[in-house]
Each structure stands twice: as structure tokens, then as C-alpha cells.
């Protein structure tokens, strides 16, 4: 009886561990996006000491985020409309 209760939870734990490994790259990137380059090179795994938005600000400026986003939005809306009206 204990076995039956224990087994599924072990499976669950394994799955969540696997999911964590699976998503680690994302976590690392999000974590490091708040750090300065120097902090990143020193220790890519450390938690950010203070939350800096500098990376986001410069990314927003450098890549013309709004223009790019509007282009993507238009393409997405256009293709979704076409797919909806001309299904296979």
C-alpha cells in the first residue's frame, strides 16, 4: 500500500527535476539579463545582486524593438486571418 502511494510521487519528483533541467537555460538567461557583463563573466550562475534594467533599455534602443514588434504583429495578424479564412 505504501508502495503504491510512494511510486507515483517518485515519478512526479523525477519529472519535475527533468523539467527543471529542461528549463535551466531559460532561467539562466533571464537571471543573467539583470546582471552587468562583468558580473556575468565572473559568475554566470550567481543571482543578480541588484536588479538592473540597463540591458533591457539598451536592447530596446539598439534593435528598434517597437518597429520589429510591429512588423511581427502585422505578419502574425495577416497569417492568422489567412489561415482562418482559407483552411486546408
| Contact positions vs other proteins (CB under 8 A) | 8, 11-12, 14-16, 18-19, 22-23, 25-26, 28-29, 32, 40-41, 43-45, 86, 88
Sign of the CA dihedral running 57, 59, 63, 65: negative
Nearest distance in Å: CB 41, other proteins: 8
Nearest distance in Å: CB 42, other proteins: 9
CA angle 29, 35, 39 (to 5 degrees): 110
Nearest distance in Å: CB 44, other proteins: 5
Pair 55, 33: CB distance under 8 Å: yes
Amino acid at each position: 500500500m505504501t508502495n503504491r502511494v510512494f511510486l507515483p510521487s517518485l515519478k512526479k519528483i523525477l519529472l519535475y527535476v527533468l523539467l527543471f533541467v529542461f528549463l535551466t537555460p531559460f532561467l539562466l538567461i533571464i537571471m543573467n539579463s539583470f546582471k552587468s557583463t562583468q558580473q556575468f563573466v565572473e559568475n554566470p550562475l550567481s543571482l543578480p545582486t541588484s536588479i538592473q534594467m540597463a540591458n533591457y533599455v539598451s536592447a530596446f534602443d539598439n534593435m528598434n524593438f517597437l518597429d520589429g514588434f510591429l512588423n511581427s504583429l502585422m505578419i502574425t495578424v495577416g497569417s492568422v486571418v489567412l489561415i482562418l479564412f482559407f483552411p486546408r
